[in-house]
Amino acid sequence: MKIVFLDAATMGQVSFAAIEALGDLVLYQVSSPEEAIHRVRDCDVLIINKVKVTPELMDAASSLKLICEAATGVNNIDLDYAASRGIPVRNVAGYSTDSVVQSTFMHILSLVGKAPYFDAYVKSGKYSASGLFTDASRAFFELSAKNMGIIGMGNIGSRVAGIAEAFGMNVSYFSTSGTSHCREYPSLPLERLLAESDIVSIHAPYNERTAGLIGAAELALMKPAAYLINMGRGGIVDEQALADAIDAGTIAGAGLDVFVSEPLPKDNPLLHVKHPERLSLAPHVAWASVEARQRLVDLIAENIRKGW
């Protein structure tokens, strides 16, 4: 059995032993659409992360029996065409929950605690020259007794809620699907959640209900001292509106792990704000702790082991 992974570079340094034990594994670090066509010709199992699996690609893989998505979302695969060819598609869910939750609070604590400023203050020598044992010039606040508003109360949102409670925060949520059965925390309309929350944290998928969910009008509802965290998908937040809100002081700041276009284009408005210190940006890595990436590989192997 030949197994081809078209964009293995997205996995970083992990052990592929569990997959190698199942067949002849060929790893390509990156693959252009043209390269992918040639590389899948004799494969039985195709693994991809962000490579687009088009009808043309599937037609080129005459022996293809299984498509394994090295992620949860499968919007890069033409599912209808795969079904018409009788090719099952398997994804992996839940492998990165701990990693995403941890990254969520990394952004929150960095923004709220002004960590980048204080770190630079000490390393620049300003602290040594100050004559003071402390620096009280930058205000930061405690999470205790503040309001955490969560958009998307799935597995990750629920874990974020629990940790927010451990900090002493008051948690509420908005269900983007309208089907959440969570009874531990109050469910609020989006407008009220935005207006009352000190931190708004997004943990929702991208779909017709969430596309453009947070725009200029929604940002204007938030407190001037509030922070927006987006760990869901880039298209949920209007990036130009967010950049404008950051510069205008409509909100205090934002932390983002995801963007509309990835990698981030050089002309993205978030890279050109007047106050970059109000932003905490990461290159879509919240999912990618060492443990999560290895867990993902092992679960892909399990999906292959199930056969087709």
Residues marked as catalytic: 233, 262, 284
**Cβ–Cβ < 8 Å for 82, 58:** yes
CA-angle at 97, arms to 270 and 160, nearest 5°: 70
- Structure letter (DSSP) for residue 178: S
Place of tokens 């453009």: 212
Q: What share of the chain is helix, strand, coil (3-state, %, to 5)?
A: 40, 15, 45
Compute how many other C-beta atoms are within 10 angstroms of the C-beta atom of residue 305: 11
**Cβ–Cβ < 8 Å for 174, 197:** no
Can you tell me the distance from the alpha carbon of 149 to that of 64, in angstroms, rounded to the nearest whole number? Answer: 45
Q: What is the CA radius of gyration of the chain?
A: 22
Q: For residue 217, what are the CA distances in angstroms to 53, 75, 98, 196, 256?
A: 37, 28, 32, 15, 19
Which pair of tokens denotes residue 249?
């002081």
Place of tokens 């033409």: 78
